[in-house]
Amino acid sequence: MRKLLVLFLCLPLLGNAQGVKNIFKYSTFYAAVNGGTSLGDAQVWSVTSGTLEEQVIETPFDYNISIGLRKIKRFGYENRALTFYNGTENSYSDAATLGLVDGFEYLFETDFVRRLGIDYVNQHHFIRYVADNWVAKVEYLEDGFADVKYFESSQRYRLQIGELGKLSFNIGAVQRLAEPYGFDPLADWVLANGSLHYTYLALQEGYNITLDGTYLDPDGNVVANSQEVWEEVVIPEVINDYVEDQRNALSNTVEYSAVLGFDYYHFTKDFWFHSWGNLMPYHIDTDSEYSYHKYNNGQWFDYSAGLIFGHRFNKSLGVFIEGRYNKYWNRDWHNFSVGVNYVIF
């Protein structure tokens, strides 16, 4: 879908060489590999049949493989001293509704990450067009660490306040395609007292318990010889696999929402303030079987916001605050940076 959408938007420009040149003018392609040591090895001792056994749990090294293409004009506060993009930059302003200039901008970035022994993928792709009185944007975001991903498109009317247009408000519509967040695959397995009927769940998934207390997986392999190991080691894996299978079996759902937003940008070499926010207060109930309306019992608020602030009090002292926060379908993810710089000499 993303590839088709990009092709559709760019098709009118591909008919001539000048159009292709305009698409890639001032853009940057980058690819980089970053890595480092992760957690130190951990020693675990256990006693089996009266024998003390030692096990060393090793965590593989961390890495980040990044590849991307971006055409986004830098804001005044962004670090221009960096010679190359290495994929580790935390560009909070990429989440802003508006760019520094009107016109066509885009970002396509994919990161293959291993952190603390956990492998995941992060993706952020968007195409944005900003005009004097309207904004259109299509975006795909996947945060593997926060376990959230969605496709979003929006069309907004833009109202600029003041001659310089530092402050602007926008209103419009948003369409989002995502898995049915709110769906609880374990709801049918919860007993009246609130506990989980995990044994029956495991049996349904193909596990078996023999009369002598041996626990077998669906392939007939022994996975536990005691109830303690069964409950503390095997059952969590059974539940995780079941939840993942149930979630993957469901089709994505579409949400249609109204959106209100604002954007403010001010910059001088000693003081800068950039802030944006979006609120979705109303969502159309499509009466879908897995609509979030059913899990939430009605309307809800989805929102996102960002803030970038910096102030140099004098040649030596400066402070900064940067961050962004998202809450969609009662799932939140955020990052921030706060600090003080003091040049001694």
pLDDT at 163: 72
Three-state DSSP at 94 gives helix
pLDDT at 15: 54
Half-sphere exposure (Cβ direction) of 217: Cα atoms closer than 13 Å: 11
pLDDT at 199: 83
Separation of first and last alpha carbons in the chain: 55
108: Cβ–Cβ under 8 A, 6 or more apart, which residues?
68, 69, 70, 125
pLDDT at 22: 77
What tokens were used for 174? 């948003």
For the cut 70, the answer to whether the pLDDT of residue 14 exceeds it is: no
Residues above pLDDT 90, as percent of the chain: 48
- In angstroms, what CA-CA distances link 81 with 67, 77, 78, 133, 164? 21, 11, 9, 34, 28
For the cut 50, the answer to whether the pLDDT of residue 4 exceeds it is: no
**What's the whole-number average pLDDT of the chain?**
87
| pLDDT (average), residues 280-295 | 89
pLDDT at 108: 95
Beta bridge partners of 71: 106
Q: What is the pLDDT of residues 142-198, one digit of tens each?
A: 998 888 999 999 999 999 998 777 999 999 999 999 998 888 888 888 877 777 788
Under the banding of pLDDT at 50, 70 and 90, the label for residue 125 is very high
For the cut 50, the answer to whether the pLDDT of residue 226 exceeds it is: yes
Q: What is the pLDDT of residues 181-194, one digit of tens each?
A: 888 888 888 877 77
Q: What is the DSSP letter of 50?
A: T
DSSP string of 197-256, one letter each residue:
-HHHHHHHTT-EE-TTS-EE-TTS-EEESSHHHIIIIIHHHHHHHHHHHHHHHSPPEEEE
Q: What is the pLDDT of residues 247-275, one digit of tens each?
A: 888 888 999 999 999 999 999 999 999 99
Nearest-CA neighbor of 159 among 179, 131, 181, 140?
Answer: 131
Most confident of 9-23, 57-71, 75-89, 120-134: 120-134
Query: What is the helix (H) or strand (E) element at residue 267, kind and residue range?
Result: strand 253-267
For the cut 70, the answer to whether the pLDDT of residue 16 exceeds it is: no
Alpha carbons 267 and 265: distance in angstroms, whole number? 7
| pLDDT (average), residues 45-59 | 75
Task: Produce one character per residue of 307-337: b if its CB has 16 or more CB atoms within 10 Å, e if not.
Answer: bbbbebeeeeebebebbbbbebbebebeeee
| pLDDT (average), residues 9-26 | 66
* 100 vs 49, residue with greater confidence: 100
pLDDT at 51: 79
